[in-house]
Structure 1
């Protein structure tokens, strides 16, 4: 067995890339010139991983503008390690265009080069272009490691991790007869596949009995959409980003095109009857930048509030104990911007309002009265419940009437999200990012927050919603409404969908698509590595996430003890932080997590293998 220190990272996508970048940044101060073998294990290419791989349709976009995507820290990240600045995606593309940065991938692939040539800051890049950026960041981060660090890449699947708490860990790989021995293991697995739950198994069995099509939750880019026949109705549950991918691949992906804002069908499209709990798509990405003063964040939901909440009896009740502070924090961002950028829409002095706002109890009648007196137009007040569920209590006599109403909602949302005159919306977006950073400290607070955040802050590009409008007008997409439910009709051998928005209306189809990602579940994950960790005593939260120490990412056992040699980062953990990359100058909670884990790992490796000269 080698005496050299060994760190194994399982998963080599963007989260692992961020960890490597932090290892490189912190190694000079914490690790010096000691030797280290760094093993990165992933069946997909390092840097981009599965989601951002090159071999996918160019029709699939990111849902962020190029100027809003960075993999590098700045002074807004609350971390102990040094800041190592680097270019955001748009600046990187400009550097490649103008010859300041080499990109072998752009030289080798004319499709990537062509996109780089035209990309500007407010464009929405393809996912495969983002993959090229991520692979460049990975290569740069590896090159920045100290000379005594040797990187080993394994295009392989990790099956399980074994080993004693106080000894070397063994990483068992599918394509290697002997396990890889490592001092420390970090899991950066990203989003994982999961098997169907009870409802999905029953629907699939029903589909098999009757010769129907049922596509359970999956990554849309990896689904076999060829089984959905042209011209036939398809019920779709979900109107989030997975739905947008589905919409694109079944329309443009089948030869349709857009002309002068209208959709021209190819004749190969199915008819998508789409519904969800909300009955409307996610809110559009905001289409302008913030000018002037930023709201000071966090204000009412920061580290001090997190510490106070952690002192309360656990587990915390999200809606009762956490949500009121989130509501007040987002309101602070909203009204700070309204008073500073749009004072003509207020009826009070800013200083007096802020003093009374700070003193008012979250969610209290006094707070609501204060806002009503200071902000005359209800449309200028922040109402998170109305934003979240605009179809609650709305009823339509027919599906035809609903189509016009949902199109009007989307058009109004697009107009507002591209109007700097409503820049308080962008302030709320910044508040959402700040809240995410604080929630990471609280561990798993349930799925309610993540669904709300994705709906309000991580929606599709504006152009995608304009395409959805065109598809709706062309009859290729039909909205079902809120509270969509699906039944399996054994007698007729069809799926039947209905909603609370259009009582009495039913849609029948021989195909059902669940347009959403699989949820985390220890009993259903297709990752044998996670299944064996759970069986070996790793703790799992009530929502199926791997329990980790929010401070440094060490995996917790069922008694709450952190494992001294195993770490985990990413969406499969209770400390999920919203994404492996983020907007520049927005704090980047994932970056701070990467920094803490890198620093802890380097310190442990140094202590496990002391330099004789120390």
Structure 2
């Protein structure tokens, strides 16, 4: 049987890829009897370390929605990993070390940086004044995070032992063939790579055209004067194609939307200035050439600003959910947990408990009974998951009975409760709600509303981990679980406060107008323009010459991928979809690649592990919902690092097996 030297191919070198590399190197450095020859192939056509999204050359106008001291790629003591833990700085600590503030960083992390010196690359784009302004709770620029990633990547490379030969390929993997006991990977530069184990960390990828996107493409063919900016990473979208004074129909009100606003206003010469009389405290000084955005999304409401806690947000208490997770974590098998009945009541009660506990602290006169009595009433209240569609929650009745306040999470599940006659009326309503969101966010930990929403947001990860591997019934997952996760993302994964203020200033300047939820896209038969309407704004058809999709497609194995590497895997049936199981036993294929939970090797149609191929991260988002969360938070034993470690451990063990086989031959 033909053999090759032990070798690993790592495809994809963004954050997850370099984290996987770090876990591999941690294994390499404890090998007692290394092979005489070992090859490590690192493959990515984007910047090695930063990847496409965090490329260091991107504009400094774009920021992250994660805290500076809440991001690390390093494992930590007590982490659930097989390879040895390697401690290093968060991005905030890394910046402080650049500035010479060593006393603020622990000895173990300082020692790592001593062994892996900082370089001067950061100073090429950032001044000392800029970096000194960063606080632990600041939102770093994406380009800055890119520099951190590149330093991390180069530091990991420096730790690779001499017996490992590294091959860096600035190219894209296009196909993969099985050859006896190894893979042959073809790159877009014509090279081939042989690997006894392969780890694919492919991240976000464009999908094939969906049905409506095919119609959009056909419309462009017959109306060449129209423009479509397809869903993608914002720095890869053709923002320059948006013309001055153009009407833009926009779908999506998350980070991509906030990004495009900044790139076509402030980045084109517009200015935001402080103005205490403005709704959000900012006023926009226009250039007179701004596009006008008619903005919509399925929800029809922008992601809410993150809370200003005056520091890193504390962990939510969520005592009931913790108890439920402890009780149900050992329950195995598909459809073994009903989220609606067994998990949602704990999540909901924890959120209302957080509300009244904060209210008791900041406004004790608002309580009509002692806190213990109210908490007991919350625990005694019946939780009916169907109430999310109509009616009044029993929890809401507890708040109304025992306090002088009115509060209901249903208000955030139905953000646009009324239909309006036009965009002017709807926009006025959204602005009123945004002012409320802003006030609550500014109050931080002193806002009972934010306390409830933060409890819900903090419940997201343990809820997702509990239901991984299809343990939730598909019916409950598509009912309350999806709604709870969506609300948690709306409330706790939104933009920094200053982005919401900027949005409000752009609304007041007439740059942004809201259409509402579930937009209907069409074309005007007379003018040939795009049109968009929503029942939330009276069904009025608003016209534009550019259609902008402000989101990123999640990989979906059920559709034929555009990416040639993933397409090759699907066509060869080397990967198959992970399936949910319906109540009647029917298998329901999901968008995810099926994987083994421990090794992260892909599975075939019979459920057998692939002998070599691993996948890490986003392609498994349905089987492992927490894999879309990036970057990892310190102190959380994140799945981000756990899954990187699992794949690295499996690939490492495979290559050791190849080495033993070669020695036997």
Question: Structure 1 length as normaliser, TM-score?
Answer: 0.88
Q: What is aligned with 2:565? A: 529
Q: 1:461 to 1:294 in 2, by over 3 A?
A: same
Whether the 8 Å contact between 1:230 and 1:268 is mirrored in structure 2 is yes
Distance 2:33 2:95 in 1: 33
Give me the whole-angstrom Cα distance separating, in 1, the residues matched to 2:207 and 2:232.
Answer: 8
Q: Which residue of 1 aligns with 2:193?
A: 180
Check if 1:221 corresponds to 2:235: yes
Indicate the residue corresponding to 1:106 in structure 2.
121
The 1:292–1:256 alpha-carbon spacing in structure 2 relative to 1, beyond 3 Å, is closer
Query: Given that residues 327 and 362 in structure 1 are in contact (C-alpha distance below 8 angstroms), is that contact kept between their aligned partners in structure 2?
Result: no
Aligned match of 1:205 in 218, 229, 242? 218
- Does residue 525 of structure 2 align to residue 490 of structure 1? yes
- How far 1:592 sits from its partner (Å)? 1.4
Name the counterpart of 1:390: 415
Correspondence for 1:418 among 442, 453, 471: 442
1:202–1:361: structure 2 CA closer, same or farther, 3 Å change rule? closer
Query: Does the Cα contact within 8 Å between 2:296 and 2:514 map onto a contact in 1?
Result: yes
Superimposed CA distance per residue, residues 289-329 of structure 1 (whole angstroms, 9 cap, x where no aligned partner) = 3458744585255376365363438xx9xxxx335545334
Q: Structure 1 residues 77 and 298 mapped into 2: Cα distance closer, same or farther (>3 Å)?
A: farther
Deviation track 1:224-271 (CA, whole Å, cap 9, x = no partner) reads 222222112111111111111111111112111112210011122110
Tell me, in whole angstroms, the C-alpha distance in 2 between the residues paired with 1:336 and 1:83: 37
Structure 1 residues 36 and 93 mapped into 2: Cα distance closer, same or farther (>3 Å)?
Answer: same
**1:305 is the counterpart of 2:328:** yes
User: What is the match of residue 68 of structure 1?
Assistant: 70
Relative distance call for 1:504 and 1:530 in structure 2 (3 A) is closer
> How much does 1:452 deviate?
4.7
Indicate the residue corresponding to 1:474 in structure 2.
509
> Offset at 1:439?
3.8
Q: Secondary structure at the match of 1:208?
A: helix
Report the equivalent of 2:105.
none
- Give the distance between the partners of 1:524 and 1:59, measured in 2 at CA: 35
> Is 12-21 or 219-228 further displaced after alignment?
219-228
Partner of 1:141: 156
Give the 3 Å change call, closer, same or farther, for CA 275–149 of structure 1 in structure 2.
same
Match of 1:46 among 45, 48, 68: 48
Q: Return the alpha-carbon distance in structure 2 between the equivalents of residues 139 and 303 of structure 1.
A: 40
Tell me whether 1:605 sits opposite 2:650 in the alignment: no
Deviations 1:51-102 (A, max 9, x none): 0001211111111121222222335744455433321111110011117554
**What RMSD over aligned residues (CA atoms) do the two structures have, in Å?**
3.3
Structure 2 CA distance for partners of 1:302 and 1:136, relative to 1, 3 Å: farther
Q: Does the alignment pair 1:442 with 2:470?
A: yes
Distance (whole Å) between structure 2 residues aligned to residue 405 and residue 495 of structure 1: 25
Tell me if structure 2 keeps the 8 A contact 1:579–1:590.
yes
Matching residue of 1:539: 576
* Cα displacement string for residues 446-483 of structure 1 (whole angstroms, at most 9, x for unaligned residues): 79476555323321111111000000000011111122
Instruction: Report deviation, 1:146.
Output: 4.0
Given that 1:330 and 1:432 are in contact with CA atoms closer than 8 Å, whether structure 2 keeps it comes out as no
Which deviates the most, 152-161 or 417-426? 417-426
Aligned mates of 2:3, 2:468 — CA distance in 1: 37
Note the residue ranges of structure 2 that are not aligned, 5 or more in a row. 103-112, 275-281, 579-588
Q: Establish whether residue 250 from structure 1 lines up as the match of residue 251 from structure 2.
A: no
State the Cα distance separating 1:12 from its structure 2 match: 0.7
8 Å CA contact 1:105, 1:112 repeated in 2: no
The answer to whether structure 1 residue 592 and structure 2 residue 604 are counterparts is no
2:137 aligns with 122
Task: Give aligned pairs, total.
Answer: 602
Q: How far apart are residue 412 of structure 1 and its match?
A: 1.2
Unaligned 5+ residue runs, structure 1? none
Distance 1:355 1:85 in 2: 45
Structure 1 residue 113: Cα displacement: 5.9
Query: In the alignment, is the contact (CA less than 8 A) between 1:159 and 1:174 conserved in 2?
Result: yes
Does the 8 Å contact 2:316/2:458 carry over to 1?
no
Q: For residue 278 of structure 2, what is the aligned residue in structure 1?
A: none
Name the CA distance, whole Å, in 2 between partners of 1:572 and 1:417: 33
| Cα distance in 1, alignment partners of residues 508 and 178 from structure 2 | 59
User: Is the alpha carbon distance of 1:486 and 1:580 closer, same or farther for their aligned partners in structure 2, counting shifts above 3 Å?
Assistant: same
2:168 to 144, 147, 153: 153
- Call closer, same or farther: CA 1:42–1:483 in 2, change over 3 Å: same
Q: Tell me, yes or no, if the aligned pair for 1:282 and 1:456 is still in contact at 8 Å.
A: yes
The whole-number CA distance in structure 1 between the counterparts of 2:395 and 2:414 is 24
Q: Following the alignment from structure 1 to structure 2, what is the Cα–Cα distance between the partners of residues 148 and 298? A: 48
Distance 1:72 1:287, change over 3 A: farther
Q: CA deviation at 1:372?
A: 4.2
Distance 1:25 1:428, change over 3 A: farther
Q: Distance in 2 between matches of 1:373 and 1:202?
A: 50
1:16 and 1:382, CA in 2 relative to 1: closer, same or farther beyond 3 A? Answer: farther
